[in-house]
């Protein structure tokens, strides 16, 4: 198991720091966020320490996403939320504060006041072709 001594989520996963636990299996733990954006805001965290999604093994990412779907269903049922977001921040610039990969389950309700900027542009054809080339090359690497 990959772990890091000063990591808060490693400590929660290892039972050294308490949490309001909702779900646990061999690879994943899920608990209420201590600073909820909305009622029922929940985190899904792999027990092993990886900083970001791209750093973690694909099978573990799959286990996390299975837990997100399962816990998310239960959170929605229990809170009566009409909808929910999954949020996953990788890196400080993207808003990641805790450097142990995690998935946010955020229940949503009409008028909850929670929003985000989504300043959509228009996909440029030349740039799209360049991106497809670069990303598919990276995928095959």
Q: Which residues are catalytic?
A: 102
**Residue 84 binds what, of ligand 5GP, Zn ion, none (CB under 5 to 8 Å, by partner type)?**
none
* Closest to 101 measured CA to CA, from 62, 59, 58, 48: 48
Residue 8 dihedral angles phi and psi, to the nearest 5°: -60, -40
**Residue 52 binds what, of ligand 5GP, Zn ion, none (CB under 5 to 8 Å, by partner type)?**
none
* Closest to 33 measured CA to CA, from 17, 47, 44, 48: 44
Q: Does 109 bind Zn ion (CB under 5 A)?
A: no
Q: Does 10 bind Zn ion (CB under 5 A)?
A: yes
Give the binding site for ligand 5GP (CB under 6 A): 8, 19, 31-35, 89, 95-98
Q: How many CA atoms within 13 Å lie on the side-chain side of 97?
A: 3
**Residue 90 binds what, of Zn ion, ligand 5GP, none (CB under 5 to 8 Å, by partner type)?**
none
Q: Does 7 bind Zn ion (CB under 5 A)?
A: yes
């Amino acid at each position: 198991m990959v772990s890091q001594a000063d990591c808060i989520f490693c400590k929660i996963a290892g039972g050294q720091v308490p949490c309001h636990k909702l779900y646990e299996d061999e690879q994943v733990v899920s608990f209420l966020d201590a600073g909820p954006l909305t009622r029922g805001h929940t985190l899904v965290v792999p027990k092993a320490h990886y900083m970001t999604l791209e750093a973690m093994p694909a099978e573990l990412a799959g286990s996390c996403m299975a837990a997100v779907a399962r816990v998310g269903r239960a959170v929605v049922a229990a809170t009566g939320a009409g909808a929910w977001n999954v949020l996953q921040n990788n890196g400080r610039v993207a808003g990641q504060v805790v450097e142990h990969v995690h998935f946010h389950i955020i229940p949503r309700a009409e008028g909850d006041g929670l929003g985000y900027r989504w300043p959509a542009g228009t996909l440029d054809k030349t740039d799209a072709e360049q991106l497809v080339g670069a990303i598919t090359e990276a995928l095959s690497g």
